[in-house]
Structure 1
Amino acid sequence: MNSTTRLLLIAALALSAASAPAQTPVRIDTAAFSMVNQWGDAPDTLLSDSNGVTRIGLNTASASLSADTARYLDGNFYGGLFEVTVNAGYRVTGFSFSGTFEGVLYVPPNTDGTPGDGFAYNSGYIELSAGSRPYGIFYGEHAQRIDMLDGAIPVMMSSGELSLTSDFNLSLQGLVLVSAYPTTTPEHPAGIDSFASLRVRDPVFTIYTSAVPEPDRVAMLLAGLGVLGSVAIRKKIGDLQDCQYDLPC
């Protein structure tokens, strides 16, 4: 597929997504944060939430990032804007996106077993970015692209270590494209269908959080450390005094 055809298909898919009827955002609440996908047209799922690790299944992304064809072109576009509100007393220490690209490419051979003149192609792209809300500090961008995939490749994008106590946005964009053209033979002048498919399986956001120590607890901790330090100093002074009287040190 040439670049002009690909750009036209991307534009058509994006226009179709933009003109789709608005959906009511679904809110996911945890003790540490809440998250709303402003562009989602299917409820995302809270898979697990324990020990500061929250896993959220992206149902809309799973449904959208899938395409297959036996002849000519097909594709799908996905865009998700996730508004994350951090609750008081907590911080977000990192986040990641994971999933698996799965693709199938098949071109039927000629009747004598030699390679056919058909064609099968797939291409996928996922981009994750994040920034503060309202838009200001940019926390980074990650992307992964695959082409001509016949099998499976895992996808993992991670923010690295963070310490966010203010609200932020996660943006996830994705595109899958497939095309297939038949193998023609003298016995089958109309062609024997080729096949191409691509999907993103089990797309998941993982958000890592921790509690922020309360000020009075921090003060108590510092006071305790101060007492321990004083005791250690007094003991050291006592040991030095003992040494002055020829006692073992």
Structure 2
Amino acid sequence: MNTMTRLLVTAALALASVSTAHATARIDTAAFSIVNQWGDSPDVLLSNGNGVTRIGLTSAADSLDAFTSRYQEGNFYAGLFEVTVHAGYRVTGFSFSGTFAGVLDVAPNPNGTPGNGFAFNSGNIEFSAGSRPHGVFYGEHTQRVDMLDGALPFTMSSGQLSLTTDFNLSLQGLILVSAYPTVTSQYPSGIDSFASLRVVNPVFTIYTMAVPEPETYGMLLAGIAVIGLVRRRRRPA
């Protein structure tokens, strides 16, 4: 576990000790159920069809957002999602996506020349998954930005999987911003600069497919056998 992960876990545990009463956010589909054990607000089922389920992470969007016009601000997020795979289905992959959106605005001097202020932002997100109760099969993939003035989309994807047992998704993030004023003889208290950073539209996408029942396999094999028999009979002597 690296330093960033330890920091985020410690902060999440500290927050939990202050407020132990919150409603877990649960989403049910035919293929799986997902519960955010650390969610402060319900996540949203955006779409579900053709084996693709998209879940908007409301709590992550609320938390991964910070701005300041003077000095420092920051925020963190920690989510633990328990995924229960339903009988007759398998999870074939998953991803976490979103967009970092940042603003850096150093206040200019009154005459329009560059000021001596400063604006800074930094964001880090870690995404991992593991079987319950222990085990890691998608470990601590990281997306980081520094000094972002604009938008940067990102996606962290597991690739092809075949999971019929329950597993956890872990998502942790930290946002830091700071802004220092431009100080002049005319404005000794300074002219405010501005810095912000947030994660826009954080989304889990989970891919699933139905697992054929044993009798379905039997019918398929029988059909293949019949086709093979017909082809042999049609083969010229």
* CA drift at 1:186: 1.1
Query: Aligned equivalents of 1:137 and 1:110: distance in 2?
Result: 53
For the structure 1 residues 182 and 17, does the alpha-carbon distance in structure 2 shift closer, same or farther, using more than 3 Å as the test?
same
Query: Aligned equivalents of 2:187 and 2:13: distance in 1?
Result: 38
Match of 1:48 in 2: 47
* CA drift at 1:10: 6.9
For the structure 1 residues 37 and 225, does the alpha-carbon distance in structure 2 shift closer, same or farther, using more than 3 Å as the test?
same
Aligned positions, number: 232
Match of 1:19 in 2: 17
* CA drift at 1:11: 9.1
Matches within 5 A, 1:199-210: 199-210=198-209
Is the contact between residue 17 and residue 77 of structure 1 (CA under 8 Å) also seen in structure 2?
Answer: no
Query: Aligned equivalents of 1:11 and 1:221: distance in 2?
Result: 49
Is the contact between residue 9 and residue 78 of structure 2 (CA under 8 Å) also seen in structure 1?
Answer: no
Match of 2:182 in 1: 183
- In the alignment, structure 1 segments of 5+ residues that lack a partner are 1-5, 242-249
Q: Please report the TM-score for the alignment, with normalisation by the length of structure 1.
A: 0.88
Q: In structure 1, the residue corresponding to 2:215 is in which secondary structure? A: helix
Match of 2:121 in 1: 122
Q: Please report the TM-score for the alignment, with normalisation by the length of structure 2.
A: 0.93
Is the contact between residue 8 and residue 173 of structure 2 (CA under 8 Å) also seen in structure 1?
Answer: no
- Letter of the structure 2 residue corresponding to residue 69 of structure 1: T
- Calculate the aligned-residue CA RMSD, in Å: 1.9
Query: Aligned equivalents of 1:225 and 1:101: distance in 2?
Result: 51
Match of 2:89 in 1: 90
For the structure 1 residues 235 and 137, does the alpha-carbon distance in structure 2 shift closer, same or farther, using more than 3 Å as the test?
farther
* CA drift at 1:189: 0.6
Query: Aligned equivalents of 1:41 and 1:86: distance in 2?
Result: 24
Percent of aligned positions that are identical? 69
Deviations 1:146-185 (A, max 9, x none): 0001110002111101110000000000110000100001
Q: In structure 1, the residue corresponding to 2:110 is in which secondary structure? A: coil
Query: Aligned equivalents of 1:189 and 1:177: distance in 2?
Result: 26
* CA drift at 1:230: 1.5
For the structure 1 residues 99 and 108, does the alpha-carbon distance in structure 2 shift closer, same or farther, using more than 3 Å as the test?
same
